Structure 1
Amino acid sequence: MSRITFVTLTLAVAAIAPRFTESAKILAVFPFTGPSQYMCVQSYLKTLAARGHEITSVSAFPQKSPLKNFRDITLINEYQDHDEFIISAIEEMSESKLNQLRTVRDYVIMGSLSVLKNEEFQQLLRSDAQFDLIIIEVVCQDSLYGLGEHFRAPIIGVSTFGTDVVIDELVDNISPVAYVPSPTGKHLDRMNFWQRLENLYAYTMELLYNHLVIIPEQQRYYETYFPNATLRLTDVRRDFSLLLLNQHYSLNWPSPLVPNAIEVAGMHIDHKPSKIPDDMEAFINASPIGAIYFSLGSNVKSASLPKHKLQHIMNAFASLPVNVLWKFEKTDLVGKPRNVFINKWFPQSDILAHPKVKLFITHGGMHSLIEAVHYGKPIVGMPVFYDQYLNVEKAVSKGFGLALNFRNFTSADLRDAILKVLENPKYTERAQEISASFHDRPMKPLDAAIYWTEYVLRHKGAPQMRVAARHLNFLQRHSMDTIVLLFGIPLLLIIYLIHRIYNLLLAMLRAKDSANKQQKNE
């Protein structure tokens, strides 16, 4: 949540971004049930509201107090047993690629239906409300993309996971499979033959599953909830004016991006950290050589971990010469070491900004990794599912972290990894180098997000930024029709020549045979 005043936010962005001359009505739809996705866009939406735009936000996380120019439509979590769902998802994610994709499908459906079935949202659809812009989360929420045509407004997509082969399709971006890893894989951008083959498999599975399973299901929702739609879902999917991507090449890797795909990693982080609560401050300062922060994110609950895992973690922490802040979702932890401070919630970004916090033990979620890089803190990564494996692998490959196997680590494994990072300055030095590169941009990420959002408003959807591939079918986009012609004509010519030569040789043989028979008769 943003903690600087809206006036300050407005002035900061106004210094760079020309103001959209009129107040725009904006519908923002973020259907996922996990809070981290919405946290990524809170500052962005609040800044738009501070600049005079009227925001209607559809999410499961309404504002705690009324906000000027900001209206909430609150979603009810469609999956009531969310914690149990996450626990089962962890196990399924450890199995086959197909099981991973099925888990993603279940999560996607949960998000889409929570919006489409919401009565207040349905009233909005049936009303005569008008919007100048639609902002929507773009993780396989295809049926909701019909909101652009419904309200006759341009669409901006926000991807809190960065881009992948499916998200690329929305703006016809191309991520070459030879050196752009699948987010659900474990390989980096420099791959050998077998890794490229595995990456091709991952990309193909994701693309096929999306087109054969997810999109047909979203098509049914689209037809049910947008019965008056005149555009096909395939056309709606390719009608995005802009994509805001929660990624940056300093942390990820350089890759091609079309003009309307903009990297804005870090836009959720305040420019100036806030003061942390006094009890947390005192606990950090009581640790002479620095402190550690440990969190498994908003979806995986430490309090729900098996007893043997909790014991390994506590044993490791008890053996350390530093204090540890642990995001733990219960008020009590039996056997908690004296050097451990537990709390249901920590102001994570502000904690990582503290100069005496020396290490971040993390599950490797995208937002957590971005915050670690933003503040130049090394990590010990314990990835649980989805993109977290690759996120942690990035940190390891770039030299500012170590990885542990979440499923079978021991207390000794955890202790040794922590001490190795704490005692070897190269990890912190490398984290600070990456951080410097991350910050060295012509425009701060939130400023960039606001600038390009208002650019789309100023230029009525900014069609000049869109590549022409959106008007081509699959064969045309990949030049298969011209390739067939290019190679087909020479191939037909070769076949024709072979056929003529064959007929000529056959005629010669027949003539020779006929001559031989004539000689015998004479």
Structure 2
Amino acid sequence: MSLQWLTLMVILTGISHVTDSYKILCLFPHTAKSHFFMAEALMKGLAAKGHQVTMISHFPQKTPIPNYRDISLVGSMPEYVNQVPLDTVATGHVYTTISFLAHIGYDNCKNTMEFPAMKKFVAANEKFDLIVTELFNTDCLLGYVYRQHTPFIALSSSVMMPWAYARFGNPDNPSYMGNHFLYHGNRMTFPERVINVLYQEGLKLVYKFVFDRPANELAKKYFGESLPPLSEIAKNTSLLLVNSHFSLNQPRPLLPNIVEVGGIHLQPPEHKLSKDLKEFIDGAKHGVVIFSLGSSVKADTFPPDKRDAFVQAFSELPQRVLWKWEGDTLPGQPKNVKIVKWLPQMDVLGHPNVRLFVTHGGLMGTTEAAYSGVPMVGIPLFGDQFHNVRSYVLQGIAVTLDYHTISKSTVLSSLKEVLENPSYKENALRIQKALNDRPLSPLDTAIFWTEYAVRHGGAPHLRSAAIELAWYQYLLLDVIAVLFLAVAVVMAVFYFIVKKLFSLCLKTRNEKKTKPKAKRS
């Protein structure tokens, strides 16, 4: 190849790279690190492809990343948000979760918009090709998106929230689609379906009054009184990337602008364990049980009776137990239990000696377990954890341990059920194979659709016409009413015709009976 052609190819490649490089902003003010993992994975992946990424979050990178810019919100929210005592949230009541999410969402929006770093950013009025938001507990920052006149997409770090379906016009059938906050799967009894319908529709109303109205008030305060309702802005969401997968979280109908990317944050385990962790796990002749309640709940806030129930149950296992425990000491700690304040969870779960994962049922951690082929004991505490654990129980890869009935016997029974019944491990390996069998990795899938949304100016052709319909039109109630009226008119006409014919026949018959007979001569 001549030097001139080689030079031309290099130039064209450079031009192509520049024209395909987008400026992408991620607005991610939520304080839960488990939620942030999904956004971080996508933004890092986009930065690695040459896009200029700006991340507004509570979790700035510790070391600089090429093409990745942080705008830190650290200090904008009080510390209590990420230090939740167990008994505060583990009520099992939906209203506890809803009130907590609404409170955090409101405070989060208010504190974010009044934080100096955010004020400076908003005032700069920087332009982007795409904005990424989270579809969770507040739409307040959609006011900024609207003001920028920029295409935007959303992330859902859980299965779809109950109020997410309407903004995309996606089918939402409570007969087989279990509610996000209930212990319901895709196969429900009649009472469960009744409850599911009531909660499914009720939560949409709750969102309107408890989440949406306060968010609208805040958004108008920061972005002007002329701002349209946030629910109307939300209908322009180009794409939703959902952290779920049909193999693990049960199949449901999804429109083309709703894409499952469950496991987007997953990376193959590197097995770079510290010396003490490696020795502890490698030396476990009967395997290891991992116990972690995630990043938001502090395990050392267990009430003493429940903590002791685990301690006593673990002491009777032949397996070793690795317990994520934030405290410096664990009262009554058995010899087979090791406590750590932080776990390299993917590396640990990927170790062949790990037999069981005891979890609160958060989607990030349980997806990691499924990716690694590890069965689970689920202790759902709040939010989507009940629905997640029910899904895993139906898949045969987990059992449920009710938080309110925790005792030595219930803990031991749950642990032994999974450890001694080989079907759980067999099912976990089956799910692992299905979860990882995809044409593209979750991250590559998310990157493709993100770039697709930019290339096509927000990809309006992906949106369903259902979002333009009134609720009675979507449910065909107007059509049903007209058809019912038509049938009623036809039946009424038929009734009057039959009645008239019957009346005429009866009259003729009566006339024949009353007509005098002719006398014989």
TM-score (normalised: structure 1) = 0.88
One-letter identity of the residue aligned with 1:359: L
Match of 2:314 among 314, 317, 339: 317
Matched with 1:122 is 119
Deviation sequence 1:34-58 (CA, Å, 0-9, x none)? 1110012222111111111111111
Tell me the residue number matched to 1:239: 236
**Following the alignment from structure 1 to structure 2, what is the Cα–Cα distance between the partners of residues 435 and 368?**
14
Take 1:41 and 1:278, find their aligned partners in 2: how far apart are those partners?
31
User: Corresponding residue for 1:51?
Assistant: 49
* Contact 1:366–1:391 (Cα < 8 Å) also in 2: yes
SS of match in other structure, 2:53: strand
Matched with 2:101 is 104
Structure possessing the higher radius of gyration over alpha carbons: 2
Equivalent in the alignment of 2:195: 198
Aligned-residue Cα RMSD (Å) equals: 2.5
Please say if residues 33 and 77 of structure 1, whose CA atoms lie closer than 8 Å, have aligned partners that are also in contact: no
Per-residue CA distance 1:94-136 (angstroms, 9 max, x = gap): 24x4444222212322332232222221222222310111101
Structure 2 residue 363 is matched with structure 1 residue 366:
yes
TM-superposed CA distance for 1:87, in Å, is 4.1
Q: What is residue 81 of structure 2 aligned with on the other side?
A: 82
2-structure distance, mates of 1:108, 1:367 = 21
Question: Separation in 2 of the partners of 1:229 and 1:69?
Answer: 35
1:216 to 208, 213, 217: 213
2:35 equivalent among 22, 34, 37:
37
Q: Distance in 2 between matches of 1:84 and 1:369?
A: 21
When residues 19 and 448 of structure 1 are mapped into structure 2, their CA distance, relative to the original with a 3 A threshold, is farther
Q: 1:487 aligns with which of 484, 488, 508?
A: 484
Matches within 5 A, 1:162-177: 162-177=159-174
Q: How far does residue 89 in structure 1 lie from its aligned partner after superposition?
A: 4.0
Is the contact between residue 371 and residue 435 of structure 2 (CA under 8 Å) also seen in structure 1?
Answer: yes
For 2:357 and 2:479, the matched residues in 1 are separated by 53
The amino acid across from 1:38 in the alignment is: F
Whether 1:329 aligns to 2:351 is: no
CA distance in 2, matches of 1:333, 1:98: 33
Residue matched to 1:419 = 416
CA contact (8 A) 1:137 1:158 kept: yes
Please give the per-residue CA displacement for 1:192-247, whole angstroms capped at 9, x wherever unaligned.
Answer: 32221111011012111012221111111121111175544232010010000011
In the alignment, which of 272, 277, 280 is matched to residue 274 of structure 2?
277
Amino acid at match of 2:103: D
Q: Using the alignment, how far apart are the partners of 1:40 and 1:184 within structure 2?
A: 21
1:461-499 Cα distance to aligned partner (Å, 9 max, x none): 111111112322323333333333332344356567879
Pick which of 352-361 and 138-147 moved more. Answer: 138-147
CA contact (8 A) 1:374 1:435 kept: yes
Q: Provide Cα deviations, 1:385-407, integer angstroms capped at 9, x if missing partner.
A: 12112211222221112111112
Counterpart of 2:26 in structure 1 is: 28
Whole-Å Cα distance in 1 between the matches of residues 83 and 266 of structure 2?
A: 30
Matched residue type, 2:232? D
Contact 2:85-2:298 within 8 A present in 1 as well? no
What corresponds to 1:160 in structure 2? 157
Which residue type is aligned with residue 57 of structure 1? M
CA distance 1:474–1:79, shift in 2 (3 Å): farther
State how far apart, in whole Å, the 2-side matches of 1:280 and 1:379 are: 21
Structure 1 range deviating more: 429-438 or 404-413? 404-413
**Secondary structure, in 3 states, of the residue corresponding to 1:372?**
helix
Match of 1:462 in 2: 459
Q: Is the 1:56–1:71 Cα contact (8 Å) retained in structure 2?
A: yes
Residue aligned with 1:316, SS: helix
Q: Any idea what SS the aligned residue of 1:342 has?
A: strand
Partners of 1:123 and 1:155 in 2: how far apart? Answer: 21
2:89 is aligned with what amino acid? I
Aligned length: 490
> What is the DSSP-based 3-state SS (H/G/I as helix, E as strand, rest coil) of the residue aligned with 2:247?
coil
Alignment check: 8 A CA contact 1:89 1:103 kept: no
Residues of 2 paired with 1:453 and 1:399: CA distance? Answer: 34
Amino acid at match of 1:419: K
Tell me, yes or no, if the aligned pair for 2:380 and 2:389 is still in contact at 8 Å.
Answer: yes
Counterpart of 2:429 in structure 1: which amino acid?
Q
Q: Deviations over 1:7-34 (max 9, x none)?
A: xxxxxxxxxxx98942211110122211
The residue aligned with 1:182 is 179
Q: Secondary structure at the match of 2:155?
A: strand
Shift of the 141–242 alpha-carbon distance from structure 1 to 2, 3 Å rule, reads same
Partner of 1:72: 70
Aligned to 1:407, the other structure's residue is in SS state helix
Greater CA deviation, 180-189 or 69-78? 69-78
Alignment match of 1:254 (pick from 224, 245, 251): 251
Counterpart in the other structure of 2:475 = 478
- For 2:462 and 2:305, how far apart are their aligned partners in 1? 54
User: Deviation string for 1:264-318 (max 9, x for gaps)?
Assistant: 0001011353412121011111211211111011111111111122111111111
Matches within 5 A, 1:408-447: 408-447=405-444
| Structure 1 residues 46 and 101, CA gap change in structure 2 (3 angstroms) | same
Q: How many angstroms apart in 2 are the aligned matches of 1:104 and 1:493?
A: 53
Q: Between the two proteins, what is the percent identity of the paired residues?
A: 34
Structure 2: which 5+ runs fail to align?
A: 1-15, 504-521
Q: 1:74 is aligned with what amino acid? A: S
CA distance in 2, matches of 1:442, 1:273: 23
1:270 corresponds to which letter in structure 2? Q
Q: Provide closer, same or farther for how the CA distance between residues 85 and 338 of structure 1 changes in structure 2, counting only shifts above 3 A.
A: closer
Partner in structure 2 of residue 14 of structure 1: none
Instruction: Kindly indicate whether the alpha-carbon contact (under 8 Å) linking 1:145 and 1:237 is maintained by their aligned counterparts in 2.
Output: yes
Q: Helix, strand or coil: the match of 2:24? A: strand
1:142 partner SS: coil
Amino acid aligned to 1:410: S
The superposition leaves residues 348-390 of structure 1 with CA deviations (integer Å, 9 ceiling, x where unpaired) of: 1111011111110111111111111101001111111121122
CA distance in 1, matches of 2:221, 2:496: 57
Counterpart-to-counterpart distance in 2, 1:493 and 1:367: 58
Which deviates more, 136-145 or 227-236?
A: 227-236
Unaligned residue ranges in structure 1 (runs of 5+):
1-17, 507-522
For 2:466, the aligned partner's letter is A
Give distance in 1, aligned partners of 2:361 and 2:350.
Answer: 18
Are residues 88 and 218 of structure 1, via their aligned partners in 2, closer, same or farther at CA, if it must alter by over 3 Å? Answer: farther
Q: Is the 8 A contact 1:295 1:327 kept in 2?
A: yes
How far, CA to CA, are the matches of 1:479 and 1:147 in structure 2?
Answer: 35
Q: Give the whole-Å Cα distance in 1 for the aligned partners of 2:155 and 2:449.
A: 12
Contact 1:149–1:229 (8 Å) recurs in 2:
no
